[in-house]
Structure 1
Amino acid sequence: MSPAGAPAALCTPACVTRSAPEIQPVELARRYAALAYEIGIAVTQGDRLADPRALRARARGILAALGIRLDAGPERLTVAGSRPGTLIVANHISWLDVVSLLAVEPVMVLAKREVGGWPVIGTLARRAGSQFIDRDGLRQLPHAVSELASTLRSGRSVLAFPQATTWCSVAGGRFRRATFQAAADAGAPIRPVTIRYHQHGTRSTTAAFLGDETFGASLHRVARARGLAVRVTAHAPLRGSDRRELAAEAQAAVGAYEMPAHV
């Protein structure tokens, strides 16, 4: 959830550095063909794409088409045995974050309204039953918090990015509190998750989606990247009733797993 008045990120496309040589044109063409194939399957599946197994398969297929390796531990994103759904909160670096987390465990996504119109990502998000919000709509915020709490009470789990915008590193941008209020109201567990990108064992900003960059420009840079991998790390769940404490604890858990320059 992106609260009203969220500040613009200090990260810009200038923060992106290329830590590995790019692939050859022939391989780039192959990747785009594989991506088009995955998109075609997603379109033909229609409402069947909402099935978690189908959604996970398409998300993993998109990562594979772009040559991205997914590193994820055995830990589920949702908290087993909880009647309220799980609020999954992660740092936000790229549009690839949504694809990567759906590839681990499909859940409902809370995203800014613009995402719904994006190719590939918008389709996956809509078919996953995503809720789209206007991050500049101050008067809509209480309603959005109430609606999210109701969704969690119903047993559905929700993925949110409380940094409100994308940053080039795990540590960028503080976690804003609105989503944590919804979890507190619903009595829902919170699962902090760290997302990190690397190339050949070195931390990478290639996937970062920053500033006024277009989706097409970002996609092209990602498609040309050699050896790009995404690591998803789920942390111990949190519970509580104070949104300030929950936001601080979640941010500390996510930030503690910032990848060193070399791994």
Structure 2
Amino acid sequence: MRLSVTATCSVAGCVSATTPTVGPALLAIRRLKVAVALVAFLLCLAFLAMGPPPRVGRAVYSWWFRGFLFALGIRVRVRGPRGSWHDGPELVVANHVSWLDSGLIQLWRPGQTLVKSDGDDVPAIVRRPLRALGTVFFDRERPEQLPRAIGEITGILRGGGRFVCFPEGTTYCGGHAGAFRPALFQAAVNAGAPVRPVRVDYVLSDGSPATAAAFIGDDNLTTWTRRVMAVRGMTAEIVFLPPLPAAGGRQTLARLSEDSVRAVRNEETTL
């Protein structure tokens, strides 16, 4: 399966050639684990296609996602307040590095999310289960759909739900970053819901960026999976930051959220 990616970064220009890798024996074990995880993913899709209640479906997907992280050899480190389904409405916004980002955030602050589906690049076999999870789709090739998407997100927030999105609009490899676009913040303004900034990073055991985790440019899931499972000592770091009140308009919320997310890495770099 191929996902559409648009980014200023490219695989060749981003992924470090000196990334530490595992030995042949461990790589073989990881390949076996990933194969098992892919079979489990098909079973997960079949279950979601049956239309279970959204919370049940998300719990099943989270169970699979944890197993997939284990198969890839990715550890997870979390800072900040962890949530539940019952914490009240909030718009969760984060920087975007990999397709893993949304699943990682929702392990700790579960909610619905936005998937950018340009044309027919999301196959029907995946689209239906994603719909069962409450996913909101937005086609970047049809910008007239944006008000509808914002309306759906507003309704989720007004109903007391949580929504996870990535206002950079695309993925970046970590060395570069995009501005937080203000459009999606309008949903928080409309609903009067707080905004929760989140920082996502992938690092190696020495603290340097694990650029192999980025899903960018002309990447596809097959080459990405082969690249990531070979990396030694990768950790996904998630930092949940204090919420921002829905005040001052979408431009202000976008700027404050971006500043909060950028400040995390800047502070750690100066330590």
Indicate whether the TM-score tops 0.5: yes
Paired residues for 1:201-216 under 5 Å: 201-202=206-207, 203-216=209-222
Partner of 2:3: none
Task: Name which of 22, 44, 47 aligns with 1:45.
Answer: 47
Question: Is the partner of 2:264 in helix, strand or coil?
Answer: coil
* CA distance 1:244–1:168, shift in 2 (3 Å): same
* CA distance 1:118–1:172, shift in 2 (3 Å): farther
* CA distance 1:166–1:41, shift in 2 (3 Å): same
Which whole-Å deviations, capped at 9, do the CAs of 1:154-203 have from their partners, x for residues lacking one? Answer: 12211110000000117600000011111101101110000000111322
* CA distance 1:170–1:54, shift in 2 (3 Å): farther
Q: Distance in 2 between matches of 1:101 and 1:93?
A: 13
1:175 correspondence with 2:174: no
Which whole-Å deviations, capped at 9, do the CAs of 1:9-52 have from their partners, x for residues lacking one? Answer: 32111211142124424224223233224314413533448414
Q: Distance in 2 between matches of 1:220 and 1:126?
A: 28
Which whole-Å deviations, capped at 9, do the CAs of 1:117-169 have from their partners, x for residues lacking one? Answer: 3988x687444211110123222222222222122111221111000000011
Paired residues for 1:245-260 under 5 Å: 245-258=252-265
Q: Is the 8 A contact 1:145 1:182 kept in 2?
A: yes
Q: Distance in 2 between matches of 1:130 and 1:110?
A: 6
Partner of 2:19: 19
Normalising to structure 1: TM-score of the pair?
0.85
Q: Distance in 1 between matches of 2:97 and 2:262?
A: 13
Q: Give the C-alpha shift of residue 231 in structure 1.
A: 0.7
Which whole-Å deviations, capped at 9, do the CAs of 1:33-73 have from their partners, x for residues lacking one? Answer: 33224314413533448414333222211111211111113
Task: Name which of 31, 46, 49 aligns with 1:29.
Answer: 31
The amino acid of 1:160's aligned partner reads C
Paired residues for 1:135-146 under 5 Å: 135-146=140-151
Indicate the larger mover: 219-228 or 68-77. 68-77
Q: What is the root-mean-square deviation in Å for CA atoms of aligned residues? A: 2.9
Aligned residue pairs, count: 254
Normalising to structure 2: TM-score of the pair?
0.82
Q: Is the 8 A contact 1:171 1:258 kept in 2?
A: no
Q: Distance in 2 between matches of 1:34 and 1:119?
A: 19
**Unmatched 5+ residue regions in structure 1?**
1-7
Q: Distance in 2 between matches of 1:187 and 1:224?
A: 45
Paired residues for 1:228-243 under 5 Å: 228-239=234-245, 240-243=247-250
1:9 correspondence with 2:10: no
Partner of 2:164: 159
Q: Is the 8 A contact 1:73 1:232 kept in 2?
A: yes
Q: Give the C-alpha shift of residue 224 in structure 1.
A: 1.8
Q: Distance in 2 between matches of 1:100 and 1:205?
A: 17
The amino acid of 2:100's aligned partner reads L
Q: Distance in 1 between matches of 2:270 and 2:39?
A: 34
* CA distance 1:91–1:74, shift in 2 (3 Å): closer
The percent of aligned pairs where both chains have the same amino acid is 31
* CA distance 1:103–1:79, shift in 2 (3 Å): closer
Paired residues for 1:91-130 under 5 Å: 91-113=95-117, 116-117=122-123, 125-130=130-135
Partner of 1:199: 204
The amino acid of 1:29's aligned partner reads R
* CA distance 1:182–1:234, shift in 2 (3 Å): same
Which whole-Å deviations, capped at 9, do the CAs of 1:66-111 have from their partners, x for residues lacking one? Answer: 11111113613579654xx211101000011122123223310111
Question: Is the partner of 1:147 in helix, strand or coil?
Answer: helix
**Unmatched 5+ residue regions in structure 2?**
1-5
* CA distance 1:60–1:28, shift in 2 (3 Å): closer
Q: Distance in 2 between matches of 1:28 and 1:76?
A: 29
